[in-house]
Amino acid sequence: MEDTFEIDILELSALVKMVREKYHFDLKEYALSSLSRRIKRILEMFNLSSIKLLANKIENDPVLFEKFLNEITVNTTEMFRDPLVWKHLRENVFPELAKLPEIRIWHSACSTGEEVYSMAIALREAGLDKKATLFASDINNDVIANAKAGKFPLRTMDHSLANYQKSGGTKKFADYYTAKGIDAYFDLSLIQNVTFKKFDLILGRQMEQFDLILCRNVLIYFNLPLQDQIIEKFAHCQNENAFLMTGARETIIWCKSADYYDVFSQDFKIFQRNQKQ
Amino acid sequence: MSKYKALVIGGSAGSFPLVIQILASLPANFPMPIFLCLHRLKHIRSGYLEALSIKSKITIVEPQDKQTIKPGIAYLAPSNYHMLIELGNTISLSTDEMVKYSRPSIDLTFETAGYVYKDKMVGIMLSGANTDGAEGMRKSIERGAYAVAQNPEEATIRTMPDAAINAAKMDQILPIDAICKFINELAK
C-alpha cells in the first residue's frame, strides 16, 4: 500500500524543529500537503515506519540529511513547459532584452535543467546567446549534476518536441541532442555561458543584478510569508524594467513585495520591475 | 443548513457531460465550494473551463496557487497540475510527478480534501477509464467523508466508479440524475 498511516502532525513538527535547529533549514514554510506527501515517500524509500524514526536517523547523519533534503526539494519539469509562455518570451520579452548590451538571466530553481536548456535553445535561435550569461541554481545538488550532464530520457523527447514547436521553434529539434541508449544527450555548447551553483533561495545571500529571473513552479511549495520573502529578494537584485517570470498558475499579487513589480503579461505571469526602492 | 462544507468530484473519460449536467442543476448560491478534479487530454488545455461554464450558474475557476476557497465557487484542477486542499482554507498546486499516470491526480485532491474537511466532505466518483481516485476516495472515507459513486452500469466507462466501489464502502451508488438530486438536497 502506498501509505497505511496518517502523517502524525506532532512528529512532523518535531522533525521540522530539529531540522531547523540542527541544519538551519526551515521546512515550516512549506505547503503542508506537499510536504506531508514527500515525507511519506521518503519514509517508504528509507523503509521507516514513523517520522520520529526518520528524525532520529537524520539528526545524527548529515549524509542522510542531504538525501532527505534532495527528496524534499526535487521538482519535476519538462522542456519548454507551458510552450505558449515560451512563445510569449520569444516574441515579447526577447526584443526588450535584445536592446541591452549584455543579458543576465537567473534560473532560480533550475531543477534537472530542462528550463535552462530550453532557454539556451531559445536564446540561440534569437541570436542572443553570445551576449547572454545564465546563472542556474538549485538547493539540490543531485539535480544540478543532472543539469550539467544535459542528459534527459529519450522517451520524453516526443513531448519536448511538441512543446518546442508550440513555443515557436522552427529548427529541427533533434539536432540539439544525440540519442544514445535510453537517453538524449544535449549539445553541451548550449550551456557554455551557464554557471551552475547550489543555492538556497530562502537562506541564500543577496545575488547580483539580473535582467530576467525565472522562478517557475517553485513558489507553489511555499506558504505566503515565504513567497513574499523570496519575491522581495528578487526585487533587490533587479533594476527597473527587468523581468520576473513565475509559473503559469502562480501569482505574486497576494504578496506585499508585489509592489516592486508591474504586470507585463497577466496571462503568462511575467512581471516587470518598477521604480520602487 | 447543510452539515457539509465541501463537494469533491472526480472523473475521467465519459465524465464531461455528467459534470455539465451536475453544474447546470445547481443554484448559483450553492452553499459550499466544489472541487473538480477531471482528467482531460493533455493537448486540451484551453476551452475546457469555458465549455463547462456555459450552462453553469456557478462560477468555475481554475485556481491560482494559494487561492482562498469560497463557497459557491467551483474550482477546476488546472491541466498539468495537482490540486491540493490545504488547511487554512486555501488551495495549493503542485507539479510533482504524476500519480497513476495522472496530473492532476484525483487521488491527491480527494485525499487532501478528506484531510481538511473530514466528515464535512462529500465525494463523488464519476465515469472514467482508469483507477485514479479510488485510493483517495478510500482515504477520505477513513476520515469520515460521505462517498457516492456513479452507478457503473450507467457510466460510459465503468473502471473508475468500479475501482472506488472496490476500494471502499460507498454510502450510495447512484445514476447521474439521482446524483444531481442528491447534491441539490445538500444545498438545502
pLDDT tens per residue across span B118-160? 999 999 999 999 999 999 999 999 999 999 999 999 999 999 9
Task: Give the pLDDT confidence of A39-66 residue by residue, as tens digits.
Answer: 988 999 999 999 999 999 999 999 999 8
Residue from B15, B56, B105, B132 carrying the catalytic annotation:
B132
Quick check: A250 and B64 CB within 8 A? yes
Task: Give the pLDDT confidence of A257-276 residue by residue, as tens digits.
Answer: 999 999 999 999 999 999 99
pLDDT for position A34: 85
| Domains in chain A, CATH or no CATH each | 9-73 (1.10.155), 83-273 (3.40.50.150)
pLDDT-derived band at B188, boundaries 50, 70, 90: confident
> B136: which chain A residues are within 8 Å (Cβ-Cβ)?
none
pLDDT for position A104: 97
pLDDT for position A87: 97
pLDDT-derived band at B40, boundaries 50, 70, 90: confident
Residue A5: pLDDT over 80 = no
Q: What is the 3-state secondary structure (H, E, C) of chain A?
A: CCCCCCCCHHHHHHHHHHHHHHHCCCHHHECHHHHHHHHHHHHHHCCCCCHHHHHHHHHCCHHHHHHHHHHHHCCCCCCCCCHHHHHHHHHHHHHHHHCCCCEEEEECCCCCCHHHHHHHHHHHHCCCHHHEEEEEEECCHHHHHHHHHCEEEHHHHHHHHHHHHHCCCCCCHHHHEEEECCEEEECHHHHCCEEEEECCCCCCCCCCCCCEEEECCCHHHECHHHHHHHHHHHHCCCCCCCEEEECCCCCCCCCHHHHHEEEEECCCCEEEECCCC
pLDDT for position A253: 81
CATH of the domain spanning B6-186, picked from 3.40.50.720, 3.30.420.40, 3.40.720.10, 3.40.50.180: 3.40.50.180
Which of B64, B84, B108 lies closest to A251 in CB terms? B64
Residue A194: pLDDT over 70 = yes
Close Cβ partners of A162 (under 8 Å, ≥ 6 residues apart): A83
Residue A254: pLDDT over 60 = yes
pLDDT-derived band at B1, boundaries 50, 70, 90: low
pLDDT for position A83: 95
Averaged pLDDT of chain A: 92
Q: Which of B 91-110 lie inside 8 A of A, CB atoms? A: 92-97, 108
Which residue do the cell numbers 538547493 mark?
A: A139
Averaged pLDDT of chain B: 94
> A2: which chain B residues are within 8 Å (Cβ-Cβ)?
135
Residue A241: pLDDT over 90 = yes
Task: Give the pLDDT confidence of A112-170 residue by residue, as tens digits.
Answer: 999 999 999 999 999 999 999 999 999 998 899 999 999 999 999 999 999 999 999 99
**For residue B136, with 0-12 CB atoms within 10 Å meaning exposed, 13-18 middle and 19 or more buried, which class applies?**
buried
> Is the Cβ of A113 closer than 8 Å to some Cβ of chain B?
no
pLDDT for position B135: 96
Residue A80: pLDDT over 80 = yes
Tell which of A220, A226, A269 to mutate to test the B interface (max B CBs under 10 Å): A220
> A251: which chain B residues are within 8 Å (Cβ-Cβ)?
64-66
Q: Is residue B132 within 8 Å of B106, Cβ to Cβ?
A: yes
pLDDT-derived band at A3, boundaries 50, 70, 90: very low
Quick check: B95 and A247 CB within 8 A? yes
End-to-end CA distance of chain A: 53
Percent of chain A with pLDDT over 90: 75
- Stretch B11-23: mean pLDDT, rounded? 95
pLDDT-derived band at B43, boundaries 50, 70, 90: low
ipTM: 0.78
SS3 of residue B56 by DSSP: coil
Choice between B18 and A204, residue whose per-residue pLDDT is larger? B18
Choice between B96 and B7, residue whose per-residue pLDDT is larger? B7
Task: Give the pLDDT confidence of A7-21 residue by residue, as tens digits.
Answer: 788 899 999 999 999
- CA B75 to chain A, closest CA, distance in angstroms equals 13
- Stretch B19-25: mean pLDDT, rounded? 96
- Stretch B45-64: mean pLDDT, rounded? 90
pLDDT for position A184: 96
Q: Which of A 164-203 lie inside 8 A of B, CB atoms? A: none
Q: Which of A 114-133 lie inside 8 A of B, CB atoms? A: none
Tell which of A78, A249, A256 to mutate to test the B interface (max B CBs under 10 Å): A249
Q: CB A192: neighbour CB atoms within 10 A? A: 10
pLDDT for position A208: 86
pLDDT for position A277: 87
- CA A102 to chain B, closest CA, distance in angstroms equals 33
Pairing outcome for strands B59-61 and A270-273: unpaired
pLDDT for position B45: 59
pLDDT for position A176: 98
